[in-house]
Amino acid sequence: MIEFDHVHKRFGGHVVIDDLSLRIGSGEFFVLVGPSGSGKSTLLRTVNRLVPIDAGQVRIDGEDVATRDVEILRRGIGYAIQSVGLFPHRTVAENIATVPRLLHWPEHEIRARTTELLALLRLDEPGMEARYPHTLSGGQQQRVGVARALAARPRIVLMDEPFGALDPLTRESLQASLKAIQRDTGTTILFVTHDMDEAFGLGDRVGLMLDGGLVQVGSPLELLHAPADDRVRDFVGGARARLRELAIRTVGDNMRRGEHADGDPVDAAASLQDALAAMLAQGRDRLPVQAHDERVGAIVLADLVSRRA
């Protein structure tokens, strides 16, 4: 659990974080979203004390981070950044093993963990562990960066626009990997991005940050359906908010159970956006839904268009 308690931070005369309080639960995937300069990266860095705060308190599981030994604190928190920052003089395996080494894990455990992470992040092509960062693609480098952040099984991981520099396909594949890993491990993730689609796709809850303060905190659907003010409404996309909503909601939650339809089926776990795309592609306004290779119902265009929540 991460708690920000009336946190203040200024750089020179400029207020970057203005009396901010927030509580992030254990196992939660929390996304801070906002434009450049809104203070979201600064807030993230107060957790591992890369940025010291001027007033207030940041607590992890009830303990003020300011009272912890800073190196031990940081070794216990995963950290991934947009520019990755892999060590150019170390191999992929050595990069991943960085924090376990700092924590003096036994060598065989480090090797086992590295192998496990290479597989988890789909970096398991032969010879990968012995390669140097400069021989990897941008997407592979960031996968190594994420593996390095997860290596010591931290209960909290901080991620500062880790996928910001990647092409859309690579980004989506990494987002999917990360979301799956987070669900499986129950890691608490605090994730910073300026990309609303990324925020809504990943976050259990999203906090919209503007000018050093949180304007609204809630689930993606809460932000879409009940924006706190016009700034939030603008930021979540105005008229295009409905499209974002389709990307978040699943077919399974919105289908007509037991009804029949013709055409190629869509999966119950797919998003409504995928279903809409399939309808457009097949030229139909209702499609069968399948779950575990069994027809379970139908998804209907009119239901997507209606304002039913």
Partner 1 sequence: MRVAVSLALLVALLVVLPHSAAWFHAWQPEVSHPLYSRHSFFALTLSHVGLVVAATSVAVAVGLGLGIVATRPAGRALLPTVRAVAVIGQTVPPVAVLAIAVPLLGFGAAPTLLALALYGVLPVLGQTVAGLDQVPKPVLHAADGMGYGRWRRLLEVELPLAAGPIMAGVRLSAIVGVGTATIGSAVGATTLGSPIVEGLVGNNAAYVVQGALLVGALALTVDAALAALERRIRRAPREHR
In the block, residue with structure tokens 């107060």: 46
Out of 72, 112, 180, 226, name the contact with partner 1 by CB under 8 A. Answer: 72
Out of 12, 14, 67, 71, name the contact with partner 1 by CB under 8 A. Answer: 71
Q: Is 31 in the site for partner 1 (CB under 8 A)?
A: no
Out of 27, 85, 164, 263, name the contact with partner 1 by CB under 8 A. Answer: 85
Taking the least distance from each CB to partner 1, the nearer of 50 and 210 is: 50
Q: Is 91 in the site for partner 1 (CB under 8 A)?
A: yes
Taking the least distance from each CB to partner 1, the nearer of 149 and 276 is: 149
By CB under 8 A, which span of 10-18, 66-74, 235-243, 282-290 interacts with partner 1?
66-74
Q: Is 73 in the site for partner 1 (CB under 8 A)?
A: yes
Out of 2, 16, 33, 74, name the contact with partner 1 by CB under 8 A. Answer: 74
Q: Is 163 in the site for partner 1 (CB under 8 A)?
A: no
In the block, residue with structure tokens 């890369």: 50
Q: Is 282 in the site for partner 1 (CB under 8 A)?
A: no
Taking the least distance from each CB to partner 1, the nearer of 108 and 134 is: 134
Binding residues for partner 1, rule: CB under 8 A, are 48, 50, 70-76, 79, 81, 83-91, 98-99, 102, 132, 134-135, 148, 158
